[in-house]
Amino acid sequence: MGRQILHCDANAFYASVEQQRNPELRGKPVAVCGSQKERHGIVLTASYPAKRSGVKTGQAIWQARQACPNLIVVPPDYPEYMRISGMMREIFNDYTDLVEPFGLDEAWLDVTGSRKLFGAPMEIAQAISARVKFELGITVSIGVSDNKITAKLGSDYKKPDAITRIMPDNYKEVVYPLPVEDLLYVGPATSKKLRRAGISTIGRLAECDEKFLVRRLGKMGAVLKMFAAGRDNTPVQRTSHIQAIKSVGNGCTAPRDLVSDEDVRIMLYLLSESVALRLRQLGSRCTVVEVYVRDNELNSFTRQQKIETPSCSSAEIAETAFDLFRRNYHWSKPLRGVGVRGSDLVDATGGVQLSLYADDIKRDKWERIDGAMDWVRQRYGYSSIQRAIVRTDPLLATVDPSKHVIHPVGYFAG
C-alpha cells in the first residue's frame, strides 16, 4: 500500500468559530467581514445558510446584503481564529507528526505510518472529525487519498462535515467530471485559457496533450496535467521543515480609490517601508521586486522585475515597483488596492557582486536612512516619522502597513 494522505478543511472556519462562541448565531446567515470604515468591507467567510442565499467570499458587504437581506455581519477576531486553529492542529498531531498547514483552516496529514496505531485512513479521518466536532464545536471536511492534490479535491468534494475517499480505484469516476476550476492552482486566469481551449473538466485536462498545454500555459501546463491525472509525489512537510521564507510581501486596500500615479507612488512607498523592514529583520536582501494592483472592479495583475544588485532599501524597492506600475497600467479604472513583494532573497551578510552601473553608494545611504527610521519608530511609534511624499495626502498617510504584512508559504517545495 502506498502513501495515505488526509486533507482536513474546517468548514466556513471564521463563521463557525463565531457561531460556536455565540450560539444565537447558529443556523443563521452569518458573514465575517472586514471593516467597512477602513474599506476592507468584503466577505471573508460566510456560514452555509448565507452561502445558500448567494453570499460569496470576496463580495463587498453591500453585494452580500443584496443577495441575503437578513445577513448578520460580524467583524473578524484573528487572535481567536489562531487559537482555535492551534487547538485543531494539536488534534492532528495526536495522529501523526507529519502535518503541513495550508492556511489557518486547512492542513495535510501523512498518516501512512499511523495505521498500526490508529487503524485505516478512513478510521483516522472519522476519529479526527469526531474530536474536532466534540472538542472545538466546529466541523471539518476531510479528503482521503494517496497524494496531497487529490486529498484536497476530496475535502472540497462534499461539505460540510463530510469524509470523501478518492483513490486510484474510483479516481476517474469521482474526479474526471469535476470542473477544471476545482483543481488546485487553476485560478481565474488559467481557467479562462483552458476553457477557451475547450478544456472544462479535470478529466479533459488529464487527457489533453502535454505539449499543447505547455504551449498554452508554459511549464505549469505539464504540472496541471499531472495533477489532473491524480499524480503528485510532493511530500507532506512538518511545520518546522517548511521551506525558509523566500519572499516578503505587503498589500492593502487603500482608504480611498487611487486615481493618479502620485497616489500609487505614495502607497508603494508606505508598503515598501514595511517590506524593507522585514527584509532587514530576516537579514536578507531581495533580488526581484514585484508589484500587484487591483482596480475598483476587483480585476488585478502582477508584474515583477529583477534588480541589478540585491537590496533591502525601501526607496529602491518602491521606485522599482512604481516603474513597473507605470509601464504596465494605463488607468482604465481607479485602483482599490496595491501590493509590493521582494522575492528571491539572499543573505544580506554575504558578499555581493557590485555593478559597474548601479549607484551602490546611494543604495548604502538609503539603507542607512531606513535603519535610522527603524530606530525612531521602534522607540516612538510608527507614525513618529514619515516621508514627505506620504504627508502630501493626509488620508493615505493614515495607512499603517505594519498591520498588513503577510508571509505566505507556497505549496511547492523549494
CA 107 to chain centroid:
14
- Mean pLDDT calculated for residue range 157-180: 95
Letter for the amino acid at 305?
Answer: Q
- Band (pLDDT 50/70/90 cuts) for residue 40 is low
- Band (pLDDT 50/70/90 cuts) for residue 349 is low
Question: Catalytic: 106?
Answer: yes
Domains of the chain, residue spans: 1-168, 176-228, 247-403
Question: Percent of the chain at pLDDT above 90?
Answer: 56
* Assigned superfamily of 247-403: DNA polymerase, Y-family, little finger domain (3.30.1490.100)
Instruction: Provide the 8-state DSSP code for 91.
Output: H
β-strand partners of 285? 346
Q: Is the pLDDT of residue 357 over 50?
A: no
Q: Are 244 and 166 in contact (CB under 8 A)?
A: no
Give the pLDDT score at 376: 82
3-state secondary structure of 50: helix
Domains 1-168 and 247-403 share a fold: no
Q: Give every CB contact of residue 273 below 8 A, 6+ residues apart in sequence.
A: 314, 318, 370, 373, 401
How far apart, in Å, are the Cα atoms of 30 and each of 9, 71, 181, 343?
19, 6, 26, 37
β-strand partners of 163? 142
- Band (pLDDT 50/70/90 cuts) for residue 244 is low
Give the pLDDT score at 362: 75
Give the pLDDT score at 370: 85
Average pLDDT taken over every residue of the chain: 87
Helix (H) or strand (E) holding 165: strand 163-165
- Band (pLDDT 50/70/90 cuts) for residue 36 is low
Pull the grid cell for residue 159: 461539505
Kindly provide the b/e burial profile for residues 276-308, where b requires at least 16 CB atoms within 10 angstroms of the residue's own CB. Answer: bbbbbebebbbbbbbbbbbbeeeebeebeeebe
| CATH class for the domain made up of 176-228 | mainly alpha
* Helix, strand counts (H, E) of the chain: 16, 13
Q: What is the pTM of this model?
A: 0.66
Torsion on CA atoms 387, 393, 397, 399, rounded to nearest 10: -130
Catalytic residue, from 18, 100, 106, 290: name it. Answer: 106
**Is the bond preceding 160 in cis, omega lying within 30 degrees of 0?**
yes
* Assigned superfamily of 1-168: Reverse transcriptase/Diguanylate cyclase domain (3.30.70.270)
Whole-number Å distance between alpha carbons of 9 and 7:
7
Give the pLDDT score at 37: 58
> CB burial class (10 A; 0-12, 13-18, 19+) of residue 134?
exposed
Give the pLDDT score at 359: 61
Q: CA Rg, the chain, in Å? A: 23
Least confident of 12-16, 60-64, 140-144, 350-354: 350-354
Torsion on CA atoms 187, 193, 195, 197, rounded to nearest 10: -150
- Band (pLDDT 50/70/90 cuts) for residue 52 is very high
Letter for the amino acid at 81?
Answer: Y
Whole-number Å distance between alpha carbons of 253 and 266:
13
- Band (pLDDT 50/70/90 cuts) for residue 406 is very low
Higher pLDDT, 367 or 319: 319
Higher pLDDT, 205 or 33: 205
DSSP 214-262: HHHHTHHHHHHHHHHTT---PPP--GGGSPPP-EEEEEEEEEEEE-SHH
- Mean pLDDT calculated for residue range 171-183: 95
Least confident of 146-150, 197-201, 295-299, 336-340: 295-299
- Mean pLDDT calculated for residue range 264-279: 91
Least confident of 90-94, 188-192, 212-216: 188-192
Cell 497524494 identifies what position? 147
